[in-house]
Structures are given as structure tokens and as C-alpha cells.
């Protein structure tokens, strides 16, 4: 009985520290989506066009790519928790800067800094959770990161909606001395400070403690997170052995005959690119602008954005429940087919938008169809490509190149995300229905790619991958 009690106590502790580390994912989701409500306000306040606003929104993604690239090195030098604290402080400072910009150029700089902090957090959280979680719970605890991202998206949409309602339905109205859109961006400081607090109270990773020669502290942490029947001294020795014999892969190890890279690396890169090229982040970065562009007022457009975030959460839970039951490949195929149909339907509905007296509107029937299609797109993405691509990237590569290949594929994902985000304002201003038709085409191509090139990884040991 005593052993069972200790195990349950340890499990609760592990769940808490894993959830705390996943707050970095919450910041990622929150910042990614909070700009959605502020875009119109920024555009009006600084009198900028679609190209400039695309740069302001997308610049954070370039910062994230840099933060993710160097985050692992900082974690090895400073420790996991101290690096999390640094990311939280940077994010808090950038949030204040975004709330009080002098011009569009310094807003862009603060967005870049916020992206850098998010990029750091995006690699620190999963790495920390993997190093702290007992093997039996690693998969479920690892899913906290994606869950935190979608919760952050939903929370930011809800905050945006409340602020614009308090500001009488206009993000440029003054609220407590600042415009509503400024409060939207400044509100990011709250989850940043919470992340800082949590990162200050959770224990350091046992792997880092062993790496730093702090073996006694490593034993203490392991005794708190492992089951009572685990030999803590043996675990410390095992970690020391792995660290001594570990051969870290580099990009050179990824070279192969297929355009300079191994075929499996290209598959990972293409999966990452397709995950972004279907246009999912357009929904979370620009959906408020999208719905306003077809005649829906600001408050209602933000409420629609929040409902999409709730659907995103539901889809994520569905994916977590199904990915180990029906497999990775079937889920991706279902998602691609559903996204292609819903995106094509949305493109058709948006083609009915009409301008009368300077006001853009959709007929009632087409407006309802567009709303249903957009939310169906979010659901199909969330229950498939949103979760499954990250699962595959973590398991599809051979052991000897996994870390380097994952880094390259993740970098490709950030770049693809940036490309879609920076081009959408100009493309939608040119032809919104055709833009969505293009995303539908990428969804069709993703179906064909998965059907032809992807191998199922369900039930296979990591040592079998290649």
C-alpha cells in the first residue's frame, strides 16, 4: 500500500511539473493567436497596408525559428529551468513593448523578440518533459505541449472578445488610457509571469543535473518523479553512461542521394511544409480580419474566432485518443480529405461576397456555409495533422539522426508558417476565394503524398525506424 501511495504521489508531482513546463506551449498558442484581434487596430492606428501588416504578424515566426535553433544549446549551458525563466522574462518584456509601441517598426522589433522567447520555450518544454517523465507516462505527458498550445489559442481569443466588447465593439476605441488592441497585446504579460513563477518552482531536469556533475540533486529529483521500486543510483549511472557515449548527430549525418539528403529526411520536411501550406495558421492569425472582410462586425468576428479555438481543442483530444488506435497514416488521410473538401467549400462560399455602398457582405446562406466550412477545416486539421505530424517527427527517424533530422524538419515548419502568414494579407486582398482554393489544392497534394510515401509507424519500436 505504501508503495502504491508513493507512486500516486509521484505521478501527481510529475503531472504538475510537466504541465508547468508546457506553459511555454501556452505562450506559443497565446501569442500566435492574440495578434488576430489586434491586426485591424494596428492597421488603422499606423495606417499601414497588407504587406506591412503581414510582416508585423509573421516576423514573430522568424524570431521563433532563431529561438528554437539556439534554445537547446542554452538549455545545456544554463539548465532547463533557468532557460525557461529567461524565455518567460523576454516574453514579458516584449509584451509590454508591444502594448506601448511608438511606431510600426518598433512593434515589429518587439514581435521579433516575443517570437525568439516562444521559440526557446517551444524546444525547452518538450525536452524537459521527456527527461523528467517516467517512461510509462512519457507519451501522454508529452501531449501536454500540444494541448497547452491549443488552450493558449482559445484563451487569447476569449480575452480579445471580452476586450472588444468592453471597448464598445471597436479595437481602436480607448480603454483605460490605451486602445483596446494595445491591451490585447499587453495581456500576454500575465501568462508570461505565470510561466516565470512555475519555472522557478519546478525541479531541474535530472539529465542536466548529471551533466553538470550535481549527482546528489539528480538523485533527489529522480526519487520524486520515479516509482518507488526504481533504483535511483542505477538511474543516475545509466544517465552518466548515456551522456559519456552519446554521439550527437549533425546536419552532415543527414546527407543522402535524394537532392543531398536522405529520403526519410525529405519525408519529414515535406510533412512539416504541408502542415503549414494548408493554411491553418491563417485561421488563427487572421480569422478576425477574414470574417470582417466579408461583412461581419468586429465583436462577432472575434466570437467566431473563439469558437474555432474550442473546436481546435476538441479535435486535439480526438487525435490524442485515436493516434495509437487507428494509426498515424489513416488519421492523416482522413484529415487531408476533410480539409480539402472544407477549404474548397469555403472558397466557393467566399466567391459570393459582394460590395454594396462600400460595405462587403456575404449572403446569409453562403455566410453560414463559409462558417461551417472554416470550422470543419479546423476540426479536420486538429484531429490529424495538428498532432500527428509532431508524433511522426518524434519517432519516424532512425536513432542516429533523430535529433538533427527533427531540427531540420521543425525549421522547415517555421519557414513554411512564416511564408503562409506573410503572404496571406496580400493574397486575400487580391483574391480571397482563389487563396482558399490554393490551400485546398495543398490539402489534396498532402493526401497524395501521405498515400504514396509515408510508412505507418504505429506499434513499431524506435529502433526499427529508418
- The CA-based angle 32-413-458, given to 5 degrees, is 110
Q: Judge contact between 329 and 450, C-beta under 8 A.
A: yes
Question: Is the pLDDT higher at 222 or at 230?
Answer: 222
pLDDT in tens, 148-177: 888 998 899 889 889 988 998 888 999 899
* pLDDT attached to residue 208: 86
Query: If DSSP codes are grouped into helix, strand and coil, which group holds residue 327?
Result: coil
Read off the pLDDT of residues 95-128 as tens digits, 9 standing for 90 and up: 999 999 999 999 999 999 999 999 888 778 877 8
Report the percent of the chain where pLDDT is more than 70: 86
* Phi-psi category of residue 9: left, alpha or beta, with phi > 0 → left and psi -120 to 50 → alpha: alpha
Q: Residue 3: pLDDT band by 50, 70, 90 thresholds?
A: very low
Task: For residues 345 and 343, give the distance between their C-alpha atoms in angstroms, rounded to a whole number.
Answer: 5
Give alpha helix (H) positions in 253-327.
Answer: 263-277, 280-293, 298-322
**Structure confidence at residue 220 as a pLDDT band (50, 70, 90):** confident
pLDDT of res. 9: 66
pLDDT value of position 460: 60
d(CA 450, CA 232): 43
Cβ–Cβ under 8 Å, residues 302 and 292:
no
pTM of the model as a whole: 0.77
121 vs 356: CA distance, rounded Å = 47
Among 440, 439, 448, 465, which Cα is nearest to 332's? 448
Give the pLDDT band of residue 201 (cuts 50, 70, 90). very high
Q: Identify the residue with better confidence: 212 or 407.
A: 212
Contact call for residues 2 and 180 (beta carbons, < 8 A): no
Rounded-to-integer distance, Cα 36 and Cα 60, Å: 13
Tell me, what DSSP letter sits at residue 173? Answer: S
Q: How far apart are CA 436 and CA 353, in angstroms?
A: 14
Nearest to 84 by CA among 34, 52, 132: 132
Q: Which residue has the higher pLDDT, 16 or 247?
A: 16
Q: Residue 434: left (phi > 0), alpha (psi -120 to 50), or beta?
A: alpha
Question: Residue 342 above 50 pLDDT?
Answer: yes
CA separation, residue 285 to residues 305, 385, 402 (Å): 10, 18, 31
pLDDT at 385: 92
Q: Are 331 and 383 in contact (CB under 8 A)?
A: yes
Pairwise pLDDT comparison (255 vs 87), residue with the higher score = 87
Which of 111-120, 199-208, 282-291 is the least confident region?
Answer: 282-291
Whole-angstrom distance, CA of residue 462 vs CA of residue 318: 24
Q: What is the pLDDT of residue 249?
A: 58
Q: What is the mean pLDDT of residues 405-434?
A: 83
Higher pLDDT residue, 50 or 16?
16
pLDDT at 207: 83
Instruction: Supply the pLDDT for residue 397.
Output: 76
- Closest alpha carbon to 143 in 130, 153, 156: 130
Which pLDDT score is estimated for 379? Answer: 95
As a whole number of angstroms, the distance between CA 282 and CA 44 comes to 20
Residues 306, 329: Cα–Cα separation, whole Å:
29
Do 34 and 95 contact (CB within 8 A), yes or no? no
Cα–Cα distance list, 319 to 169, 332, 384 (Å): 36, 10, 6
Q: In this predicted model, what pLDDT tens digit does every residue of 293-337 receive, in sequence order?
A: 666 776 777 777 788 888 989 998 898 888 878 888 999 999 999
Question: pLDDT class for 2, splitting at 50, 70, 90?
Answer: very low
Mean pLDDT for the chain?
83
pLDDT > 90 fraction of the chain, expressed in percent and rounded: 30
**Tell me, what's the pLDDT at 194?**
96
pLDDT (tens digit per residue) in 232-248 = 788 888 878 777 766 66
User: Got the DSSP string for 355-383?
Assistant: EETTEEE--HHHHHHHHHHHHHHHHHHHT
- 374 has pLDDT over 50: yes
Amino acid at each position: 500500500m505504501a508503495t502504491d501511495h508513493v507512486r500516486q504521489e509521484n505521478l501527481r508531482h510529475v503531472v504538475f511539473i510537466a504541465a508547468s513546463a508546457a506553459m511555454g506551449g501556452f505562450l506559443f498558442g497565446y501569442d500566435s493567436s492574440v495578434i488576430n484581434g489586434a491586426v485591424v487596430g494596428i492597421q488603422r492606428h499606423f495606417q499601414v497596408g497588407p504587406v506591412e501588416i503581414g510582416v508585423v504578424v509573421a516576423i514573430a515566426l522568424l524570431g521563433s525559428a532563431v529561438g528554437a535553433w539556439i534554445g537547446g544549446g542554452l538549455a545545456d549551458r544554463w539548465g532547463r529551468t533557468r532557460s525557461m525563466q529567461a524565455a518567460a522574462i523576454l516574453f514579458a518584456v516584449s509584451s509590454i513593448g508591444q502594448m506601448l509601441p511608438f511606431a510600426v517598426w518598433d512593434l515589429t522589433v518587439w514581435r521579433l523578440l516575443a517570437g525568439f522567447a516562444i521559440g526557446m520555450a517551444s524546444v525547452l518544454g518538450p525536452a524537459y518533459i521527456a527527461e523528467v517523465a517516467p517512461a510509462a507516462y512519457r507519451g501522454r505527458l508529452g501531449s501536454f505541449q500540444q494541448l497547452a498550445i491549443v488552450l493558449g489559442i482559445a484563451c487569447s481569443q476569449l480575452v480579445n472578445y471580452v476586450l472588444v466588447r468592453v471597448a464598445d465593439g471597436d479595437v481602436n476605441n480607448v480603454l483605460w488610457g490605451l486602445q483596446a488592441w494595445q491591451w490585447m497585446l499587453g495581456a500576454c504579460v500575465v501568462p508570461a509571469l505565470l510561466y516565470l513563477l512555475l519555472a522557478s518552482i519546478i525541479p531541474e531536469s535530472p539529465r542536466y543535473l548529471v551533466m553538470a556533475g550535481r549527482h546528489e540533486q539528480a538523485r533527489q529529483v529522480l526519487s520524486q518523479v520515479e516509482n518507488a521500486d526504481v533504483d535511483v543510483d542505477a538511474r543516475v549511472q545509466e544517465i552518466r553512461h548515456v551522456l559519456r557515449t552519446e554521439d550527437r548527430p549533425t546536419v552532415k549525418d543527414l546527407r543522402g542521394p535524394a537532392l543531398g539528403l536522405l529520403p526519410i529526411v525529405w519525408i519529414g520536411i515535406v510533412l512539416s511544409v504541408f502542415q503549414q501550406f494548408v493554411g491553418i495558421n491563417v485561421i488563427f492569425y487572421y480569422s478576425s480580419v477574414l470574417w470582417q472582410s466579408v461583412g461581419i462586425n468586429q465583436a462577432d468576428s472575434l466570437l467566431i474566432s473563439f469558437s474555432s479555438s474550442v473546436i481546435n481543442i476538441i479535435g486535439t483530444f480526438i487525435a490524442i485518443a485515436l493516434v495509437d488506435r487507428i494509426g498515424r497514416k489513416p488519421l492523416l488521410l482522413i484529415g487531408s480529405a476533410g480539409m480539402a473538401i472544407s477549404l474548397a467549400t469555403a472558397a466557393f462560399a467566399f466567391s459570393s461576397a459582394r460590395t454594396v455602398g462600400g460595405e462587403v457582405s456575404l449572403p446569409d446562406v453562403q455566410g453560414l456555409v463559409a462558417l461551417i466550412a472554416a470550422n470543419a477545416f479546423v476540426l479536420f486539421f486538429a484531429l490529424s495533422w495538428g498532432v500527428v505530424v509532431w508524433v511522426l517527427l518524434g519517432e519516424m527517424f532512425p536513432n542516429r539522426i533523430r535529433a538533427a533530422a527533427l531540427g531540420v524538419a521543425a525549421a522547415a515548419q517555421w519557414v513554411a508558417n512564416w511564408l503562409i502568414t506573410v503572404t496571406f494579407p496580400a493574397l486575400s486582398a487580391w483574391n480571397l476565394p482563389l487563396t482558399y482554393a490554393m490551400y485546398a489544392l495543398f490539402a489534396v497534394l498532402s493526401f497524395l503524398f501521405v498515400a504514396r510515401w509515408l510508412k505507418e509507424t504505429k506499434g513499431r519500436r524506435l529502433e526499427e525506424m529508418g
